[in-house]
């Protein structure tokens, strides 16, 4: 069975790169640039296994969405990616992500192999 990943990213180029990397690895991909539409995407697509979320979406943190995903869809794994929002250190971003109960964190820039490794780990 193909695993499905919902990519939530506001940068169209980054979304395309992520989608291409994951599709080539055999995953089914749904993309969403709008934070407000993520919950409805999850409701309409119960086969989503992972939400890959850019936590600094449009320059604002999306931790409220991460909390809502975890509360409403506890079986869905979350992988957040972050560049620190331009003002947080790597360590601070990781600490915040762990408090938000995400399953994995990747800091930008990251490699294809590190992305695929994190996705594999959380789906295992």
| Per-domain residue ranges of the chain | 4-112
Q: What is the pLDDT of residues 100-124, one digit of tens each?
A: 778 988 888 899 999 999 999 999 9
**Domain 4-112 classification at class level:** alpha beta
Q: What is the pLDDT of residues 37-87, one digit of tens each?
A: 999 999 999 999 999 999 887 777 788 898 899 999 999 999 998 875 555
Q: What is the pLDDT of residues 6-46, one digit of tens each?
A: 999 999 999 999 999 999 999 999 999 999 999 999 999 99
DSSP 91-122: HHHHHHHHHTT-SEEEESS--HHHHHHHHHHH
Nearest of 36, 13, 16, 35 to residue 24 by alpha carbon = 16
């Amino acid at each position: 069975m193909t695993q499905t990943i919902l990519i939530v990213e506001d940068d169209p180029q980054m979304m395309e790169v992520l989608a291409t990397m994951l599709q080539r690895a055999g995953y089914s991909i749904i993309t969403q640039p709008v934070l407000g539409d993520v919950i409805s995407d999850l409701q309409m697509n119960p086969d989503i296994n992972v939400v890959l979320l850019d936590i600094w979406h449009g320059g604002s943190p999306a931790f409220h969405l991460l909390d809502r995903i975890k509360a409403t869809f506890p079986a869905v794994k979350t992988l957040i990616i972050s560049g620190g929002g331009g003002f947080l250190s790597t360590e601070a971003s990781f600490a915040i992500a762990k408090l938000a109960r995400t399953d994995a964190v990747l800091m930008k820039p990251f490699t294809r192999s590190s992305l695929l490794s994190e996705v594999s780990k959380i789906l295992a």
